[in-house]
Structure 1
Amino acid sequence: METDNILSQSISSAADKSAYDAACKRLLANKIILAWIMKSCLEEFRYTNEDSTINEGTVTFDIRFHALAPGSHETIRLIINIEAQNNFYPGYPLIKRGIYYCSRMISSQYGLEFVKSHFEKIKKVYSIWICSSPPLYRQNTINRYCFQEEKLVGDVSEPKENYDLLTVIIICLGSPNGQRYNGILKLLEVLLSSSRKAEEKKKILQEDFHIEMTYSLESEVWRMCNLSEGIERTAVAKGLEQGLEQGLEQGTLKAIRSIMASLNLTKEEAMSALRIPDNEREKYLELLHQDDSMEM
C-alpha cells in the first residue's frame, strides 16, 4: 500500500539520520578531534598543543573532563557540549538554543559540583555548534558569545573567573574554495563532509593535520562515509520515485483535459472514461481546480 511505503520510507529515513547524527557525534568526541576544537576555539587552551589539551579522555553527550590550565598548576574543569547542526535556520536563532544549553549545564551542576550556597564552585560551560550548511555570508566563520564586564560608573573590576562562566561558539563550515578555509574550519569540513570518500578524508587528516589514524578514528570515518552514501542513495531513489509520480500525474491531467475537450465531457465523466480509480479522483479534481484557478 502507498501509506505503508511512505511510513516505511519515513522510518528508514529517520533511522538513517539518527545513525548518521550518532556517527558525527562519535567523530567529534574523538580525543584528538576534540583537542583541535578546544585549541582553536577555547581561550583557555589557545597556546597548548593538541596532545596535552585533554587530561582525561572520557567523552559523552555533555563532554566532561579535567584539564590543566595552561601556565599554572591549577586543575580546572570545563563542561562542554558539542552539537553538529545541518540546518542553520531551524525556526529559531541557534545562539538562543546555545545559551539555553549553557544555562541548563550550569543549573545541573547543583548537587554535583556544588551544594547549598557554594556558588564559587560553579564550573564554566561551553556550548559549541558546528554548522555544516550555513548561508553563504556565514561560511568559514567562527563566532564566540560570552559575558563581559561593562563599567558604568567608577573604575573597579571583578575577577574574570567570577563571571566568565558561559560561552557559546558557532562554527560555520564552508566551501574549500572560500576564504578562510584553513585550520579547524578545514579539518571539520573534511571530517563531516558527505561528499568526500573515506580514503580522501584519511589522506587529508594525515598529511595536512598530522592526525594519526587510530583504529577507532578510522572506523568512525568509514562508518560515517558509508552512512552518508546510504542516505544519498535513499534520497536519490525517493527523488526518482517522486519524479515518476509527478510525471504520471501531469500525463493523467493532460489526458483528462483532452477527453473533456474532444468529447465534451465533464471532469467526472472524463475520469470514468480513463478508468481512474475512485480513490484517486478527488486528487485529480483538486489538481484540475488549481489549474483552473491559475488560468483565471
Structure 2
Amino acid sequence: MENQRMVENHLAHTIGQTENEARYDKATKKLPANKLVLAHIMKGCVEEYRSCPVHEIAEKYIEGEPEIGTVGVHADDTNRVHHSTADSTISGSNSEDATLTEGTIYYDVRFNAIAPKSDAEPEELIRLIINVEAQNKFKPGYPLTKRAIYYCSRMISAQHGSVFTKSEYGKIKKVYSIWVCTNPPEEFQNSVTQYSIKAEPIVGNAAEKVENYDLMSVVMVCLGKPGTENYTGILKFLEVLLSSSRAAEEKKKILTEDFGVPMTTTLEREVLEMCNLSQGVKEEGIEIGIRKGIKQGVEEGKFLALAELVKDGTLSVEVAAAKAKMTVDEFKKAMKGTF
C-alpha cells in the first residue's frame, strides 16, 4: 500500500510538472506576439527592415495595408483569419495549418507585413508573410532547419486560393520563418543564421530579378548567455525576454531602459506570468529530484545492509538477492563493486 501511495504521489507530481511545463511553454510562445517585440525581431532578422526604427516597424509595417490578417489556416482548404490589434498584440496568433493526411501544425505567430520601399522601387506594395517560433528543444529528434523550411513551403503553398489563383504565380508573397532557440548547443549560441534561395549561375551570366526567386528565408536565432561573445542586439533582447531565470522586475527594467519597450498592461502581465510559471517548473523539478534522491538512497542503503549480512555469513547470497529483487549474479557483481 505504501509503495502504491509513493507511485501515485510521484505520478501526480509528474502530471503537475508536465502541466506547468506546458503552461510555461505556452507563455513563452505568447510573448513574441507583442507588436513591439515583433518589431525588434523583424529589425534584427529580416533584411527588409534593418534600416527602419523599431517604433516605425510596429506602427506602420506590421499587419499594415492593404489587408490585416493571415493567409488560410488549412493547406487543403484555405481560409482567412482576421486578427485584432488591441493593446499592440496579434490576437489569435496560433494559426493552424492542417491536411487530412499530415495532421495539424500550429504556428506560434504568423502575420502579414508590408516591406518598406525606396524611391527606386515600383508603386506596388511588397507584402510579406512572417512566422515566428519560440523553440526550447534545439534537437527534438530532427533538424530544426528542415522543419523551418517545411513551414516556409506551407506558407507559400497555402497562398493558392487566397493570394493567387490558377497560374497567377507572380502574386506569391515572400515568407519568413524565424526560429528563436532558447537552449541551443554551445557551438550555436549567440548566432543568427539565414537560409534562403540564392542564384548561382552555372553557364553564362543570365540575371533574373531577385524578387522572382527570393521567396523564402529561414532565420535561426540561437540565444546565449550574458557576458559571452556576440551577446548584444537582438540576441540580448530575446535572451532577456525569454529567460527562465531572470526575475520579472529585472526583465522589465532591461527591456524598458536598454531597448525602449514600454510595459503595456498585456506585456507586463505576460512577462510576470512567464516568470511565475518558470519558478513553478523549477520548484517542481527540484522536488522530484529530491524524492528520487531519497528513494535511490534508501535502495542503496538496503543493498549495503544486505551485502554486509552476506559478507559476515549471517545471510545467504540467494536470500539477500531475493530481498534486493536482484538475480544472484547481479547481487554478486554489485557486491564486488562495493567491497
| Superposed pair shares fold, TM > 0.5 | yes
Partner SS state of residue 64, structure 1: strand
| Corresponding residue of 1:17 | 21
Which blocks of at least 5 consecutive residues in structure 2 are unaligned? 64-84, 95-106
Distance 1:244 1:37, change over 3 A: same
| From 212, 227, 233, the counterpart of 2:277 | 227
Distance 1:4 1:48, change over 3 A: same
Distance apart, 1:22 and its partner CA: 1.2
| Corresponding residue of 1:154 | 204
Distance 1:50 1:74, change over 3 A: farther
Distance in 2 of aligned mates of 1:24 and 1:15 = 14
Superposition CA RMSD, Å: 2.3
Distance in 2 of aligned mates of 1:264 and 1:131 = 58
Q: Provide, for residues 41-62 of structure 1, a one-character-per-residue CA deviation record: whole Å limited to 9, x for no partner.
A: 1011111111221343535134
Distance in 2 of aligned mates of 1:149 and 1:83 = 27
| From 294, 297, 303, the counterpart of 1:247 | 297
Matched ranges for 1:108-127 at <5 A: 108-127=158-177
> Contact 1:87 / 1:133 at 8 angstroms: preserved in 2?
yes
Distance 1:112 1:7, change over 3 A: farther
In structure 1, give the amino acid aligned to 2:37: I
> Contact 2:28 / 2:242 at 8 angstroms: preserved in 1?
yes
In structure 1, give the amino acid aligned to 2:290: L
| Corresponding residue of 2:219 | 169
Partner SS state of residue 263, structure 2: coil
> Contact 1:84 / 1:132 at 8 angstroms: preserved in 2?
yes
Distance 1:233 1:50, change over 3 A: same
Is 1:95 the equivalent of 2:139? no
Distance apart, 1:268 and its partner CA: 4.5
Partner SS state of residue 182, structure 2: strand
What percentage of residue pairs aligned between the two structures are identical? 45
| Corresponding residue of 2:39 | 35
Q: Which shows bigger deviation, 174-183 or 108-117?
A: 108-117
Distance in 1 of aligned mates of 2:309 and 2:168 = 82
In structure 2, give the amino acid aligned to 1:103: S
Which blocks of at least 5 consecutive residues in structure 1 are unaligned? none
Equivalent residues, number: 288
Matched ranges for 1:193-272 at <5 A: 193-263=243-313, 265-270=315-320
Distance in 2 of aligned mates of 1:99 and 1:292 = 54
Is 1:82 the equivalent of 2:132? yes
In structure 1, give the amino acid aligned to 2:23: A
> Contact 2:48 / 2:115 at 8 angstroms: preserved in 1?
no
| Corresponding residue of 1:45 | 49
Partner SS state of residue 127, structure 1: strand
In structure 1, give the amino acid aligned to 2:174: K
Distance apart, 1:68 and its partner CA: 4.3
| From 60, 63, 66, the counterpart of 2:113 | 66
Distance in 2 of aligned mates of 1:152 and 1:243 = 62
Q: Which shows bigger deviation, 127-136 or 108-117?
A: 108-117
| Corresponding residue of 1:183 | 233
Distance 1:6 1:55, change over 3 A: same
Distance 1:166 1:11, change over 3 A: same
Distance in 2 of aligned mates of 1:42 and 1:233 = 38
| Corresponding residue of 1:143 | 193
Distance in 2 of aligned mates of 1:65 and 1:290 = 65
Q: Which shows bigger deviation, 87-96 or 164-173?
A: 87-96
| Corresponding residue of 2:331 | 288
Distance 1:68 1:149, change over 3 A: closer
Distance apart, 1:14 and its partner CA: 2.1
Distance apart, 1:132 and its partner CA: 1.3
Partner SS state of residue 325, structure 2: helix
In structure 2, give the amino acid aligned to 1:14: T
Is 1:134 the equivalent of 2:202? no
